[in-house]
Structure formats: C-alpha cells, structure tokens
C-alpha cells in the first residue's frame, strides 16, 4: 500500500488505527479539517511555537526576552550562538570531571560515572543554555552521528567527541563536522574503523558513513562502494603505542591498502595514504544526495514532517554554501511554515527538559536521569548508529514514565531538583505558554480545588504538553 492508498483507507473510515499507524508523511494531515479528527492540541502562538522548536521549550524569563527583543531578532541571535553562558551553568559544568580532565586521567573514572556525567551535562545545557538553538542542533547531530557510550571504550572517548566534533561544529559547516567525526576516536571505536586493516577491511563504518551520515540509504551507493570505501579507510586507528599520547587519531600506513580504488565512480589512484579516506569524505560531503539527505533530516526535525519544497530549498543552500548549517537553518526558522506546521510529539528528553524549563526548576541534572531511563531515552545509550527514533509511535510507551516524573517533580521527590513557588502565575500560562489550554484541561483546573502542585502536574501530564 502506498501512502495515497493508506490515506484513502483512513478517509473511508477504516478507523483510528490507520491514523495511528501513519508514516511521517501523513502526520501533517492528521490535524486538517477535512479529516474531522477530534482534538489535537490547540494551535500554539508564535512565541510558544518558536520556543518549542528553536529552543527546548517555553520558559517565562526567556519568553520575556523574546518579547522585548522581537522574535525575529531573537532567532537571529540564536543563529549567531554568541550569548554569554549562564554563569551558574558554567559553574555546574566545571564541577564535572568529564570535561575537565585530560583523557588519560579520565580513564580512572568508572564507565558508569563517565556516562552519567555526560548525560548530566546534556540535561544541564539543554535546560539552562542561553544558546538554545545550539543545544537543539547538538541534540540533532548527536542523533545523526550517534555513538553508543557503552561500547568498549567509547564512554571515555565521547567527551572529546562531544566538545571538538559535535559542539564545535553543530552550527558550523557540515563537511567540517563530517571530517572531525571520521577521525574522532569515539567514532572509530564505535563503528570498528579502528580495526579496519589492509587485506581484510572492516565495513561497519564505511557502510554507516554512507547510509546514515551522508548519502542516505537510497543515496546511490552499492555494496561494492561500501567495500571500496572500507579499503580507503584502512589504517585509520587510535594511537596506543608506547610513550605516545594515547587516545588520539592515528593513521597507520602499515595497515593501509595503498592499491587503487573506485568509489562512487571516482577513481582513487594507488599510492594514497590517509588522503584516500579524506578524499572519500570530500566526495561524500559535496555530493548532491548528501545535501538532499541532510536537508531532509533538518526539515523533518523542525517541521515535523517531510516537506519536499523546503528540503529542496535547503538542499540547494547546502550546495551553494558548502554545507553551511546556519545558512540552511535561517530561512526555515524565520518562516511562516515553521509557525503553521503541525505539532511534533516530544520525545522523553524533550519532555523532561521542557518540564524543567516550564517550571523554572533548579536541577543538578543528575537526579532526573533515571526517569529518562524509565522513559527509554537516556542520552548516548542508543546502541544502533541511526540514533534515537523520532516517530511518535516509538514513544507511546513512555507516557507512564512522564506522568511519574511530573508527579515526583512537583512533590520535590526528584533528587537534586527543586521547583520554585511560582506564585501568581497561572499553571497553563507557565507550562504551555498561552492563556488557555484545551477545554478538558481548563475544565479540570476549574472544577476542583486543586493545590498548585497538582495543577502544575496536570499541565505537564496533559496531552497538549506532550507536543511542541
């Protein structure tokens, strides 16, 4: 059944189950009048929508900032990503060993602690970071260049990857991001490229590089290309020789296949060393299918749907600007399409971070982590290279975890986390960023003599707070 047939079936009243099973392409139609679907969340105002998409959710203080500066100017500033960091945040991050110890010293920390600190930092930055768009793109690229921190030594290698690959280039140029990722010891370890040897190449990284990082699975490469690319990357490994500074990238010519190769129709002459792999990266970074694939992913992340027109437009921008991520984001973020786009379901990380922001909570970022485990999205713990799924259907099991988090949060039972009194603020306004919620939520808050904590918990648990 193609998508058109699925839609016909839905209209003929095959029932909600088909709608529930729709692939991403049909999500945009779920809210349309013609389908007569009951009660999606009320359409958000531009301010709330902007903070939900460009940032990690509505927050009273940031909303004030956006109002006074003007939405478009605020978005432009977020694209520059130049805001001074929140001093309190900087202090919290300074206390974490993972970003303050040299890799050799970091090795003394147990793996569990390293992963927890990485996760803590992700929460803290997403909640409190002033450069919110940067944090959104860090999340995006962390999914795109997924690294599973529990594989072998990946945990101890990930902090360097986070800082010098992901964070450094999240709003930079995609080719730079790609090149740094390819040489990142964390990535070399994760996709076995450090065990890619002359004579018997390991295809893992070669395949995922093309399938997931650049061209996309339909990007026109063959099994033969995978094997040739693997040959190009032979000898790429992690320094571990006696007396050298270990844990950095190293090209080992003794393990490199110097023979001629052909990749995607390009002849790579014999005799090339590390340049073989670099040439592959260059071919991939400038390939039109990469432009298209990356554009498509960005569009899907920000509009919640495939959108051919925007994908083509951003793909063009990619090719014109050499993969400049800001240049691609700018028109999209300022567009009316972003404001009018249908709601995107929040993944658990989104839900937790937006809850903490909505309540202006103070957290050490650590106590919330076990809730993310319950909901199924602890950062850096997705084993497969494709990153945590974005489709809403994947997260339907996380609702109980969300409700329990909201309840514990408002009862002060989330470790290391407190919520201020928020006197004089209406619960719906504080959490959803608008005056009124859905009728069922508003009715509930009116009908009973609720304590403030309960009212706020209900807002966080409400269907509408699960969307952005």
Partner 1 sequence: MVSRRSLIAGAFGLAAGSALSQISLRERRDPDAPVLVVLFLRGGCDGLNTVVPHGEDEYHRLRPSLALRRRDVLDLDGFFGFHPALGSLIPHYREGRLAVVHAVGSQDRTRSHFEAMSAMERGVAAASEHASSGWVARYLNERASGPSPLRSIAFSNVLPDSMRGGTSGIALESLKQYRLRGEDAQARRFRRSLAALYASGEDVLTQAGRATLEALDLVENLPAAPSASEPYPKSDLGRAFAQTAQLIHAGVGLEVACLEKGGWDTHVAQGATSGWHASLLEDLARSLSAFAADIADHLNRVTVVVMTEFGRRAYENAGLGTDHGRASVMLLLGEGVAGGTVHGDWPGLTPESLEEPGDLRVTTDYRAVLSEVLRRRMALERVEAVLPGFGGQGIGAVA
Which 407-426 positions form the footprint of partner 1 (CB under 8 A)? 407-408
Residue 37 lies near partner 1 (rule: CB under 8 A): yes
Q: Integer distance in angstroms from the first to the last C-alpha of the chain? A: 30
Which 256-315 positions form the footprint of partner 1 (CB under 8 A)? none
Contact window for partner 1 (CB under 8 A) among 19-27, 57-65, 81-89, 92-100: 19-27
Nearest to 63 by CA among 430, 447, 342: 430
For partner 1, the binding residue among 200, 244, 266, 435 (CB under 8 A) is 200
For partner 1, the binding residue among 334, 374, 422, 426 (CB under 8 A) is 374
Residue 223 lies near partner 1 (rule: CB under 8 A): yes
Query: What is the rounded CA–CA span in Å between residue 287 and residue 300?
Result: 20
Residue 43 lies near partner 1 (rule: CB under 8 A): yes
For partner 1, the binding residue among 163, 393, 416, 435 (CB under 8 A) is 393
> CB of residue 81 vs partner 1: minimum separation in angstroms?
31
For partner 1, the closer CB: 329 or 375: 375
CB contact at 8 A, 84 and 130: yes
For partner 1, the binding residue among 9, 76, 89, 197 (CB under 8 A) is 197
Contact window for partner 1 (CB under 8 A) among 170-178, 295-303, 398-406, 419-427: 398-406
Query: What is the rounded CA–CA span in Å between residue 160 and residue 390?
Result: 26
Query: What is the rounded CA–CA span in Å between residue 47 and residue 63?
Result: 7
Query: What is the rounded CA–CA span in Å between residue 109 and residue 96?
Result: 12
Contacts of 69 (CB under 8 A, 6+ apart): 77
Total binding residues toward partner 1, as defined by CB under 8 A: 75
Residue 345 lies near partner 1 (rule: CB under 8 A): yes
For partner 1, the closer CB: 74 or 148: 148
For partner 1, the binding residue among 33, 61, 241, 267 (CB under 8 A) is 33
Task: Give the three-state DSSP class for 332.
Answer: helix
For partner 1, the binding residue among 28, 227, 248, 337 (CB under 8 A) is 227
What is the Rg, in whole angstroms, of the alpha carbon atoms belonging to the chain?
A: 23
Residue 30 lies near partner 1 (rule: CB under 8 A): yes
Residue 331 lies near partner 1 (rule: CB under 8 A): no
Contacts of 427 (CB under 8 A, 6+ apart): 445, 452, 455, 456, 458, 459
Give the H/E segment covering residue 120. helix 111-128
| Residue carrying the six token digits 């999209």 | 332
DSSP 267: E
For partner 1, the binding residue among 38, 87, 265, 424 (CB under 8 A) is 38
Residue 48 lies near partner 1 (rule: CB under 8 A): no
Residue 115 lies near partner 1 (rule: CB under 8 A): no
Nearest to 236 by CA among 181, 171, 165: 181
> CB of residue 236 vs partner 1: minimum separation in angstroms?
14
- Bridge partner list, 362: 418
CB contact at 8 A, 103 and 368: no
Residue 26 lies near partner 1 (rule: CB under 8 A): yes
For partner 1, the binding residue among 8, 23, 102, 168 (CB under 8 A) is 23
């Amino acid at each position: 059944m193609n998508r058109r047939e699925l839609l016909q079936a839905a209209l003929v009243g095959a029932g909600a189950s088909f709608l529930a099973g729709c692939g991403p392409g049909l999500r945009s139609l779920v809210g349309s009048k013609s389908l007569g679907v009951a009660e999606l969340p009320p359409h958000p105002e531009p301010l709330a929508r902007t903070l939900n998409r460009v940032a990690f959710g509505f927050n009273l203080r940031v909303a004030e900032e956006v109002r006074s500066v003007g939405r478009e100017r605020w978005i432009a500033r977020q694209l520059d990503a130049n805001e001074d960091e929140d001093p309190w945040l900087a202090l919290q991050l300074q206390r974490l060993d993972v970003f303050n110890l040299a890799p050799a010293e970091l090795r003394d920390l147990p793996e569990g602690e390293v992963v927890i600190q990485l996760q803590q930092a992700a929460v803290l930055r997403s909640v409190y970071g002033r450069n919110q768009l940067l944090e959104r793109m860090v999340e995006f690229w962390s999914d795109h260049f997924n690294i599973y921190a529990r594989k072998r030594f990946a945990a101890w290698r990930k902090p360097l990857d986070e800082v010098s690959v992901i964070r450094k280039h999240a709003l930079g140029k995609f080719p730079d991001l790609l090149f740094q990722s390819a040489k990142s010891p964390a990535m070399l370890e994760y996709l076995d490229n450090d065990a890619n040897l002359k004579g018997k190449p390991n295809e893992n990284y070669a395949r995922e590089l093309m399938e997931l990082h650049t061209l996309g699975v339909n990007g026109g490469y063959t099994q033969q290309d995978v094997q040739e690319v693997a040959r190009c990357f032979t000898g790429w490994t992690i320094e571990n020789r006696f007396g050298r500074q270990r844990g950095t990238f190293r090209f080992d010519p003794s393990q490199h296949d110097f023979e001629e190769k052909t990749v995607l129709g390009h002849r790579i002459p014999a005799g090339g060393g590390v340049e073989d792999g670099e040439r592959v990266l260059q071919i991939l970074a400038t390939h039109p299918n990469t432009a298209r694939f990356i554009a498509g992913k960005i569009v899907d992340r920000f509009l919640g749907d495939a959108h051919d027109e925007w994908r083509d437009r951003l793909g063009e921008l990619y090719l014109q600007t050499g993969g400049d991520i800001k240049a691609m984001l700018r028109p999209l973020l300022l567009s009316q399409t972003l404001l009018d786009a249908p709601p995107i379901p929040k993944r658990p990380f989104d839900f937790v971070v937006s809850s903490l922001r909505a309540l202006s909570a103070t957290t050490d970022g650590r106590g919330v982590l076990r809730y993310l485990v319950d909901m199924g999205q602890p950062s850096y713990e997705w084993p497969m290279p494709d990153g945590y799924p974005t489709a809403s259907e994947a997260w339907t099991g996380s609702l109980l975890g969300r409700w329990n988090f909201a309840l514990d949060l408002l009862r002060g039972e989330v470790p290391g986390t407190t919520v201020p009194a928020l006197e004089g603020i209406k619960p719906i306004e504080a959490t959803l960023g608008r005056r009124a919620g859905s009728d069922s939520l508003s009715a509930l808050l009116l009908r009973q003599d609720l304590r403030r904590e309960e009212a706020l918990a209900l807002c966080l648990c409400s269907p509408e707070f699960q969307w952005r």
